[in-house]
Structure 1
Amino acid sequence: MKLIERYIAREIMLPFTVVALILIGLFASFSSARLLAGAVTETLGIAALIKLVFLKTLIALEVLIPIALYISVIIGLGRLNKDHELIVMRTFGLSGSRMVLTVLAVAIPVGILSGMLSSYVRPWAYSESYILDAQAKAELNTNRFQAGRFYGSEKSGRIVYVRTKDEFNKEMQNIFHFMRKPDSSEIVFAQKAHQIQPTAQEPRPNIQLSEGVVYQLTNAATVDDVIHFKSMTYFIDNDTALNYRRKAAATRTLWESDQPRDIAELQWRISRPLATILLALIAMTFIRLSPRQDKTERTYLFAALAFAAYYNLSGLAKTWVEQGVVGNVPGVWWLESLMLLALITYAWIASNKKQPRQP
């Protein structure tokens, strides 16, 4: 890479590093505040909170890194344009193609990094964070139960009472559990109970109950059911767990699936490197080579609107594949195809546009 190209690459990489660190810090702070507001530390402790914030930040990197690169290209080239350095470089033979290759020299490694994070780091982080999330959010999490107190949830219609609790062995004695359902109710009495922590093989949190009885009260029935048990596993509702499993699935596993949701997740991961590179090239189009000072505020506004449009369309593209609105082909790739077509059109117009004569 020649001196001029190295100089331009440095002007892009410096703001990229700063912006990436700022975005990561802001996201980590936001996640910490949100988890603290949800009283996660009362359930899991500060060490688990730090780990959960770290995992969520890793998940967000596949989005934060393309944003940082997009912003850094605009900032770096915008500064060179504002100081008329790009005009001088163009005068001394810096062509548009060389400028594009210089940006690609920065964008391609960043795109590969984004793809690695999306395909390998993100699934692992989702798997680990789900385990912690399940422990923190489970309504029947025994860690936050205290003896002699009622715990109720108006949203789920659940009431739990524990008479005594062994903190050392994490075991409860004399448990009462009431669950209200739309057309029935359920009452459970048990002598002992302890919670089984979620694992990668079984991500659903569950409670092991011993020596008890279940009363199933149905509104429409004249006779209610009574079930005596020596041991019973009580699984907690896991509607979100199924969604997390797909995101936590290994990329190789997704390749073998024919389910629309799995295909959408796989295509999303694969598209991250290409989307990162295309966004960097799109950021170049907001820099106008002009001997006059660039209108920075308007440039940033248009750039923000363009990225917001891309971000919303990317989520829409993935949702369409998940719901079967769009088939496996074009899948989520129609958005990247539109971006590439827009760049080709812009390059064709720029190459055919007559340059104004300098006075």
Structure 2
Amino acid sequence: MKLIERYIAREIMLPFTVVILILIGLFASFSSARLLAGAVTETLGIAGLIKLVFLKTLIALEVLIPIALYISVIMGLGRLNKDQELNVIRSVGISGHRIVIAVLTVAIPVGIISGMLSSYVRPWAYGESYILDAQAEAELNTNRFQAGRFYGSEKSGRVIYVRNKDEADKQMQNIFHYIKKPDSSEIVIAKQAQQFKPTAEDDRPHIQLSEGIIYQLTNIASTDDVIQFKKMIYFIDNDFVTNYRRKAAATRTLWESDLPRDIAELQWRISRPLATILLALIALTFIHTSPRQDKTEKTYLIAALVFAAYYNLSGLAKTWVEQETIGSVPGVWWLELLMLLVLITYALIVRQKHLSRSR
């Protein structure tokens, strides 16, 4: 890479590093605040909260990286343009093609990283976050229970109370469990309870209750049932682990599927590198519209509107493929083709103006 290209690439990479760190910090802070408001720490603890924030940030990188690069190209080349350095560069015989190449030397590696994150890291992060989210919301997950507190769910009509709990071995004493059903209610009172992890014999986590009584209260029968037990097992639903989730599915699995939703997810992942590069080139077009400082704010506003329009259209393109509004061809690629057409049209207009000035 020649000196000029290295200089332009450096002017883009410096703000890119700063912007991506700021965006990651803001997103992580926002995610932490939402999880804390949902009392996730009571269920997963601080370590689980940090891991969940980390996973959600990894998922968001496929959006944060293109945004950071888009902003960085406008900031870096905008600074060169404002200080008349681009005019000096052009005056010594450096063509616009070399400036584009300098931008591509940054955009292509960043696009490849974005594609790797989207195709491999993002599905893994989604899978791990699904498990943590489900553990945080699991009604019978004893990790969330603290002694002396009631836990209720309006969705299921379940109320649980634990008087004592041993955090070391997860044993609980004096448990009250109430659940409201459509035509009956059930109250379980037990002296002890302990949660067990999945084993080779049974892959479902479960809670074992000891020495208790079950009161079954019905609205239809004239008498209620009372059942005494020494041991009873509650199985915890772990369908969140086994159920198929396309966002967490391996890219190879999506390749082999012909379902519209899987095709849309696969095309979305593959399109991320191209979208990142095209956004960087679109950002380059704004530099020619703001050679003076008094147009900088207007340029940033237009650039923000263009990115917002692209982001909304990309989500719409994916939805159309999922709903079979459009087929797998052109799929989500029509948006990238539209962006490429806009860039080619812009390049032809600039070239025509340049030829007119030369004449």
TM-score range, shorter chain: 0.7 to 0.9
How do residues 16-31 of structure 1 correspond to structure 2 at under 5 angstroms? 16-31=16-31
* Aligned partner letter, 2:342: A
In the alignment, which residue of structure 1 is the partner of 2:65? 65
CA contact (8 A) 1:123 1:248 kept: yes
In the alignment, which residue of structure 2 is the partner of 1:233? 235
CA contact (8 A) 2:136 2:144 kept: no
Q: Take 1:257 and 1:270, find their aligned partners in 2: how far apart are those partners?
A: 15
Matched residue of 1:330: which SS? coil
CA contact (8 A) 1:125 1:248 kept: yes
Matched residue of 1:313: which SS? helix
Q: 1:294 to 1:4 in 2, by over 3 A?
A: farther
Segment drifting more, 66-75 vs 189-198: 189-198
Please give the per-residue CA displacement for 1:222-278, whole angstroms capped at 9, x wherever unaligned.
99999999534132785x9958x3222221122122222222221111111001000
Q: 1:335 to 1:222 in 2, by over 3 A?
A: farther
User: Are positions 1:141 and 2:141 aligned together?
Assistant: yes
In the alignment, which residue of structure 1 is the partner of 2:99? 99
Segment drifting more, 150-159 vs 296-305: 150-159
Matched residue of 2:298: which SS? helix
CA contact (8 A) 1:78 1:287 kept: yes
How do residues 211-290 of structure 1 correspond to structure 2 at under 5 angstroms? 230-235=232-237, 245-288=245-288
Q: 1:276 to 1:222 in 2, by over 3 A?
A: farther
CA contact (8 A) 2:44 2:144 kept: no
Q: Take 1:255 and 1:278, find their aligned partners in 2: how far apart are those partners?
A: 24
Q: Take 1:297 and 1:213, find their aligned partners in 2: how far apart are those partners?
A: 71
Query: Displaced runs of 4+ in structure 1, greater than 6 A?
Result: 211-229
Structure 2 portions without partners, runs of 5+: none
In the alignment, which residue of structure 1 is the partner of 2:167? 167
Matched residue of 1:327: which SS? coil
Please give the per-residue CA displacement for 1:125-150, whole angstroms capped at 9, x wherever unaligned.
22222222222232333123244543
Matched residue of 1:353: which SS? helix
* Aligned partner letter, 1:234: I
In the alignment, which residue of structure 2 is the partner of 1:74? 74
CA contact (8 A) 1:13 1:106 kept: yes
* Aligned partner letter, 1:304: A
CA contact (8 A) 1:87 1:289 kept: no
- TM normalised by structure 1 equals 0.85
Q: Take 1:33 and 1:241, find their aligned partners in 2: how far apart are those partners?
A: 29
Query: Identity of aligned pairs, percent?
Result: 75
Q: Take 1:270 and 1:198, find their aligned partners in 2: how far apart are those partners?
A: 36
Matched residue of 1:286: which SS? helix
Q: Take 1:2 and 1:56, find their aligned partners in 2: how far apart are those partners?
A: 39
CA contact (8 A) 2:82 2:293 kept: yes
How do residues 1-359 of structure 1 correspond to structure 2 at under 5 angstroms? 1-147=1-147, 149-162=149-162, 164-173=164-173, 175-180=175-180, 183-187=182-186, 189=188, 191=190, 193-195=193-195, 207-210=206-209, 230-235=232-237, 245-288=245-288, 292-293=292-293, 295-353=295-353
Matched residue of 1:295: which SS? helix
Please give the per-residue CA displacement for 1:197-224, whole angstroms capped at 9, x wherever unaligned.
699xx99x85434567878878789999
Matched residue of 1:56: which SS? helix
Give the aligned length: 352
Q: Take 2:60 and 2:290, find their aligned partners in 1: how far apart are those partners?
A: 37
Deviation for aligned residue 1:152: 1.6
Deviation for aligned residue 1:101: 1.4
Segment drifting more, 279-288 vs 325-334: 325-334
* Aligned partner letter, 1:189: V
What's the C-alpha RMSD, in Å, of the aligned pairs?
A: 3.4
- TM normalised by structure 2 equals 0.85
Matched residue of 1:168: which SS? coil
